[in-house]
Every structure is written in structure tokens, then in C-alpha cells.
Amino acid sequence: MKGKVAFVLGAGVGYVLGTRAGRGQFERLKGWANDAWNDPRVQDYVHEAEGQVTEFAKQQGAALKDKAVEVAKSAVSGKTADSKWGTIPLTDESVDVAAGEPVLDADDLDRRRP
């Protein structure tokens, strides 16, 4: 099944890039995508998302960095991250990022798998 899907995808890409008619369609789609991307409404969403990501990184960056360092240290020492750290449930009920609650806190670093 995967082989058939790959073949059809390859044939489609070959048509679009290899034929004059396909190239015309590609250029038309590219123009539509460019127009949509440059639409002021889309750019408003992009800037809003950038602001949210920047704010999230400021709030959670240190905790995520600390967690990454610990996992890297355990990997270098020959231990897998799964053998040292338990999973951290991140459900809508357990974390409210909008309220400024940290994604990772000191309790998460001490959690051991049973």
C-alpha cells in the first residue's frame, strides 16, 4: 500500500515539475499561496503567534533548558532518559500556560519511575 501511495505521489510531483502544463499549475498555486501569506489578516495571526511563542519561551525557557541538560547528562552517562525520568503528564487540566503556571517545575525533576 505504501508503495502505491509513493508511486502516485512521485508521478504527481513529476507531472507538476516536469510538464509545461504542470509547471503552469505550480506557478498558479505558488502565486495563490504567496497572496494568502501576504494577506494582512494572515500576517496579523502570524505576528500574534510570534508574540505568544516569545512570551512562552521567556516564561518556560529556563525550565525547558534545565530539563534538556539533565536528559543530555543522563544520555552521556549511558543511562537512557526513560530509566531515570518518569513521564510528565501535560493535559489541559494539569497545566494552565495562560495563567503563567510552569510547564516543568522542581517536582518534575525529582520524579522517579516506580
Q: How far is Cα 80 from Cα 10, in angstroms, rounded to an integer?
A: 39
Q: 81 versus 5: which is more confidently predicted?
A: 5
Instruction: Give pLDDT, residue 100.
Output: 56
Do residues 71 and 85 touch, judged by C-beta distance below 8 A?
yes
Residues in the chain: 114
3-state DSSP call for residue 37? helix
Q: Which of 3-7, 25-29, 44-48 has the highest mean pLDDT?
A: 44-48
pLDDT band at 39 (very low <50, low <70, confident <90, very high): very high
pTM: 0.39
